Amino acid sequence: MSDKAIKVRTFAEMTAAGETPEILFWVGCSGSFDDRAKKITKAIVRILDHVGIKFAILGSEEGCSGDPAKRAGNEFLYQMQAMQNITTMNMYNVKKIVTGCPHCFNTLKNEYPALGGSYEVVHHTQLVQELINVGKLKVQGGEFKGKKIVFHDPCYLGRANSVYEAPREIIQKLDVELAEMKRSKANGLCCGAGGAQMFKESEKGTKEVSTERAEEALALEPDVIAVGCPFCNTMMTDGVKHFNKEDKTKVLDVAELIAKANDL
Amino acid sequence: MLSPIVFSVLLIFVAIFFTYHAKKIRRNILIGKDIDLSDNKGERFKTMLKVAFGQSKMVVRPVPGIMHFFIYAAFVITQIELLEIVIDGISGGHRRIWRAIDGTALSGLYTFTINFIEIISVLAFVATITFLSRRNIIRLARFQKPEMKGWPTKDANLILCAEIFLITCIMMMNSADLELQARGETHKTAQFIISSNFQGIFSGMSTSAVHLFERIGWWGHIMGIFGFLVYLPISKHLHILLAFPNTYYSNLKLKGEFTTLEAVTDVVAPNFDPAYQPKTDPNNPVRFGAKDVHDLNWKNLLDAYTCTECGRCTSACPQNITGKKLSPRKIMMDTRDRLTEVGKNMDANGGTFVDDGKSLLGDYITTEEIWACNTCNACVQECPVNIDPLAIIVEMRRFLVMEQSQSPAELTNMFSNIENNGAPWQFSQSDRANWTNEN
Ligand code: SF4
Ligand code: SF4
């Protein structure tokens, strides 16, 4: 990925300048604050920039989607967050949203409508697929050409929303060998982060879920474990480190693959 | 003329007994809170046809899927022969349907049906032996989990042995009957494809002995069926009936969409919209989430009675795979056990539940199990009869957090971070766009 400086504007700034963004880029908490996830966020920005989509973020007006609170049983906190966000987005008359995280994607798309927030919500892999399909984004394999890549399905993109093909189609566009784990698509195994587990120690057991999943992926000896979720990214990175395989196998988001391969 | 009377009395007894228990189960399920699932009838019907009737989720694991299909097909198709058995039983006749249609165009259909039943029964026999060995000799991991200790394992083996007994009886009945036909003792049918192979066993016996074997086969089969009906309500085998309503009432939404609690919306929404009109009755406050079976909805409880304890859910659960206590199958078994206990309590107290100081959460399901869940939906995806263990887990988390303010310390921290900073970590919301200026 190039070091070109990125320019991102907020809805507030664009509205003040009399402009109307086509799409809201919902960055999410991980994408905003986690150092590793910020790189994914920037890769998404570079793709959006490259194709010339007029997008904006909410910046400090964005709050947690409420997903971890809801999955952990705190419906009050979830609804507080959701209604705050909905108020903001309705004020800006948001129509379409792209998220960098399947958890935000799921919550905004499926759970906000019941609280008065109905938008067209897509996950970034779906947007990239759409851009490729309509010919706005041309991709080539670049440094990944001929490499072996295995895709780990995020639960909240896959099983939760039945999106299995978008990330795979994009990866295949890179002229790579797409390997599949035995537990994939509808039978995919969680990375261990979902259901607010990201924020707590696991219960007593024999193994970490992330270790179990990384072991399965590493058995295929891939050059890259591709993910579509910042939490999966953290977990799979931990898992790969557990087996001291970080030199051989990289954990990268699909957005990063596209941005790196095409020098965006 | 004794046997038609004995048969009819038994039939009536079994019918009364079964209806009595079916009503109890229905009452127990309706202990649950109401939930409106009367929408999308067409799609619901299609789901039922596909998942319950067509067993679409069973074949995901081909070996047990196909084997189970044999047993299922044998079970369904044998009901046709059962019809004749019941007619014969009540009237004291023999192969009444055959006698009525012999020589007509329908006789071919009769022969075809009996032969079809025989073939499928042999396949079911093989499947049953396979299943018994998977459980007891190969000892497949998913059948050896802690929640399967004791009764659940016995229950499964008992049913499989009963299946073998039923098939043996019907084969004995048909082959002895063929021998009797050969001796001119009974009305002639066509040859039966499987049982004709066993006819030789009886060739050296006296006619009265063959008669006896034919009757043992006949009575054995029907007694097996009666026994099954009596046994059904206390066994995991209710799924053969409940799989149909349970898949009909499947969750048709995307798995990622969790329910929105209206009672919570009524509290939160006025902060954002002063004109908001509450949707729930403020004079009738509800408990948030679930502590006991009363707090779950009737679909959760129907799920519990439908569970066949196959453990597909548990074998796909990331937390169970990695040695944690959480097992979605156990969640369902616990829910049913507690519900049965609550039902008995009601029976003992004239139909109303008297507090027994126990609850599903705490006495059956522990918080350790509840907090381990990844909400990954693998269990929901796996279940061949569309049971949703995750829904119960989430309701229990809701109870713990919103009614008891009880959550693991790290989660309590996460909550207060979201509340104060709009993010699960301790970063200030005003710094949310800082990444745009970093390299
Ligand atoms: S949703 Fe929870 S119980 Fe079900 S498989 Fe996933 S972790 Fe296990
Ligand atoms: S919940 Fe479904 S998958 Fe799990 S044991 Fe019961 S029937 Fe089997």
Regarding whether A80 and A46 lie in a shared domain, the answer is yes
Tell whether the model's pLDDT for residue B352 goes beyond 60.
yes
Give alpha helix (H) positions in chain A: 11-16, 28-33, 35-51, 67-71, 75-91, 102-106, 124-133, 165-172, 209-218, 230-242, 254-261
Q: How many whole angstroms separate alpha carbon A227 and alpha carbon A156?
A: 12
Side chain identity, residue A24: L
Residue B328 Cα to ligand 2 midpoint, Å, equals: 8
Boundary residue ending a domain (A95, A130, A165): A130
Cβ B322–A209 below 8 Å, yes or no?
yes
Q: Please report which confidence band the pLDDT of residue A260 belongs to, taking 50, 70 and 90 as the band edges.
A: very high
Cβ B374–A27 below 8 Å, yes or no?
no
Distances, alpha carbon A250 to alpha carbons A157, A174, A234, B233, B412, in Å: 21, 16, 12, 54, 33
Nearest to B260 among A106, A114, A204 (CB): A114
Region B307-320: mean pLDDT is 96
Regarding whether A120 and A50 lie in a shared domain, the answer is yes
Angle at B383 between CA A74 and CA B42, to 5 degrees: 90
| Ligand 1 near B374 CB (within 6 A) | yes
Tens digit of each residue's pLDDT (9 = 90 or more) over B389-403:
999 999 999 999 999
Supply the DSSP string of B304-322, one letter for each residue.
HHH-----HHHHH-HHHHT
Boundary residue ending a domain (A130, A152, A183): A130
pTM summary value: 0.94
Q: How many whole angstroms separate alpha carbon B271 and alpha carbon B285?
A: 19
Which residues in chain A have Cβ-Cβ distances shorter than 8 Å to B267?
Answer: 76
Regarding whether A225 and A119 lie in a shared domain, the answer is no
How crowded is residue B237: how many other Cβ atoms within 10 Å of its Cβ?
Answer: 19
A3 in a domain, yes or no?
no
**CA-nearest residue, atom 3 of ligand 1:** B328
Tell whether the model's pLDDT for residue B1 goes beyond 60.
no
A1 in a domain, yes or no?
no
Regarding whether A146 and A124 lie in a shared domain, the answer is no
Range A221-232 burial, b when 16+ CB lie within 10 A, else e = ebbbbbbbbbbb
Regarding whether A257 and A165 lie in a shared domain, the answer is yes
Regarding whether A161 and A110 lie in a shared domain, the answer is no
| Ligand 1 near B375 CB (within 6 A) | yes
| Sign of the CA dihedral with B245 first, then B250, B252, and B253 last | positive
Cβ B419–A84 below 8 Å, yes or no?
no
A148 in a domain, yes or no?
yes
Which CATH number covers residue A237? 3.40.50
**CA-nearest residue, atom 6 of ligand 1:** B376
Q: Please report which confidence band the pLDDT of residue A2 belongs to, taking 50, 70 and 90 as the band edges.
A: low
Cβ B432–A27 below 8 Å, yes or no?
yes
Which CATH number covers residue A30? 3.40.50.1860
Residue B190: the pLDDT is 87
Q: What is the mean pLDDT of chain A?
A: 95
Boundary residue ending a domain (A101, A130, A159): A130
Tens digit of each residue's pLDDT (9 = 90 or more) over A42-51:
999 999 999 9
Count of domains observed in chain A: 2
**Bridge partners, A123 (sequence order):** A99
Regarding whether A247 and A176 lie in a shared domain, the answer is yes
Tell whether the model's pLDDT for residue B284 goes beyond 90.
no
Tens digit of each residue's pLDDT (9 = 90 or more) over B143-160:
999 999 999 999 999 999
Sole residue written with tokens 């900073």: B421
Regarding whether A159 and A100 lie in a shared domain, the answer is no
- Residue B258 to chain A, least CA–CA distance (Å): 7
**CA-nearest residue, atom 2 of ligand 2:** B383
Q: Which residue of A has its CA nearest to B408?
A: A200
Tell whether the model's pLDDT for residue A1 goes beyond 90.
no
A4 in a domain, yes or no?
no
**In this structure, are residues B33 and B295 in contact, taking their beta carbons and an 8 Å threshold?**
yes
Regarding whether A143 and A28 lie in a shared domain, the answer is no
Angle at B144 between CA B140 and CA B149, to 5 degrees: 150
Cβ A63–B318 below 8 Å, yes or no?
no
| Ligand 1 near B328 CB (within 6 A) | yes
Q: What is the ipTM of this complex?
A: 0.95
Residue A189: the pLDDT is 97
Which residues in chain B have Cβ-Cβ distances shorter than 8 Å to A208?
Answer: 322
What the block records as the tokens of B355 is: 């507090």
Supply the DSSP string of B248-299, one letter for each residue.
HT---S-TT-PPP-HHHHHHHGGGT-TTPPPSS-TTSPPPSS-SSGGGSBHH
Tell whether the model's pLDDT for residue A170 goes beyond 70.
yes
Tell whether the model's pLDDT for residue B7 goes beyond 70.
yes
Tell whether the model's pLDDT for residue B103 goes beyond 90.
no
Regarding whether A38 and A125 lie in a shared domain, the answer is yes
Residue B413: the pLDDT is 96
What the block records as the tokens of B161 is: 């042995």
Domains of chain B, by residue range, sit at 2-30+61-248, 262-421
- Residue B325 to chain A, least CA–CA distance (Å): 7
> Number of C-alpha atoms within 13 angstroms, CB side, residue B328?
34
Q: Please report which confidence band the pLDDT of residue B81 belongs to, taking 50, 70 and 90 as the band edges.
A: confident
| Ligand 2 near B311 CB (within 6 A) | yes
- Residue B182 to chain A, least CA–CA distance (Å): 56
Q: Please report which confidence band the pLDDT of residue B285 belongs to, taking 50, 70 and 90 as the band edges.
A: confident
**CA-nearest residue, atom 6 of ligand 2:** B307
Tell whether the model's pLDDT for residue B439 goes beyond 90.
no
A2 in a domain, yes or no?
no
Supply the DSSP string of B220-231, one letter for each residue.
HHHHHHHHHHHH
Residue A181: the pLDDT is 97
Regarding whether A202 and A116 lie in a shared domain, the answer is no
Which residues in chain A have Cβ-Cβ distances shorter than 8 Å to B289?
Answer: 73
**In this structure, are residues B226 and B10 in contact, taking their beta carbons and an 8 Å threshold?**
yes
How crowded is residue B284: how many other Cβ atoms within 10 Å of its Cβ?
Answer: 7
How crowded is residue B362: how many other Cβ atoms within 10 Å of its Cβ?
Answer: 12
Cβ B424–A203 below 8 Å, yes or no?
no
CATH number for the domain whose boundaries are B262-421: 1.10.1060
Closest CA to A162 of B60, B387, B254: B254
- Write out the residue range of the structural domain in which residue A200 sits: 138-261
Tens digit of each residue's pLDDT (9 = 90 or more) over B160-181:
999 999 999 999 999 999 999 9
What the block records as the tokens of B219 is: 């009575």
Q: What is the mean pLDDT of chain B?
A: 93
